[in-house]
Structure 1
Amino acid sequence: MSLESPCIAVCVIHPQSGLCYGCGRTLPEIARWHRLASDERRAIMAALPERMAEAGLEPPKPRTDCTS
């Protein structure tokens, strides 16, 4: 994964909002991510928390019950 990626490997698209549950990007954004310039990626990443909040989505919380 790129350091300039919000991906947390929870790749499931919410059917109503069209946003990824894990990162908040849309399918078109995910598909063209590798072709975007760094400033475009950073602009999208800056908008993701508000976008997810408006859609009523929260990124998955890290698991704390792992023993390894």
Structure 2
Amino acid sequence: MSTPERPVASPCVSICALDDDDICTGCQRTVEEITRWSRMTNEERRTVLGLCHERAKVSGLVWMIGAKPQL
């Protein structure tokens, strides 16, 4: 018998401020993603976490080691 999967944790870092595109500057989620988080499945949450990571890379918040700089 397998144990139930634990919920994927929220990426919230308690820096709650929206940028001009309505993206949270702390966790990189959209307002819609933030408000739906508690009702999302773990699969949906993982998808959102991937989107957050991509947004952080594009905004320069996450540096990719070994990545070539975009000119």
Q: CA RMSD in A?
A: 1.9
Q: Structure 2-normalised TM-score?
A: 0.66
- Bigger Rg over Cα: 2
Q: Structure 1 stretches (4+) deviating beyond 3 angstroms?
A: none
Aligned length: 56
In structure 1, stretches of 5+ residues that fail to align are: 60-68
Task: Give me the whole-angstrom Cα distance separating, in 2, the residues matched to 1:34 and 1:21.
Answer: 20
Unmatched runs of 5 consecutive residues or more in structure 2: 1-6, 63-71
Helix, strand or coil for the counterpart of 1:9? coil
Indicate the structure whose relative CO is greater, using CA pairs within 8 Å and at least 6 residues apart. 1
TM-score, with length taken from structure 1: 0.69
Cα deviation 1:3-44 (Å, max 9, x = unaligned): 5110001010002x2210000000011011100001100111
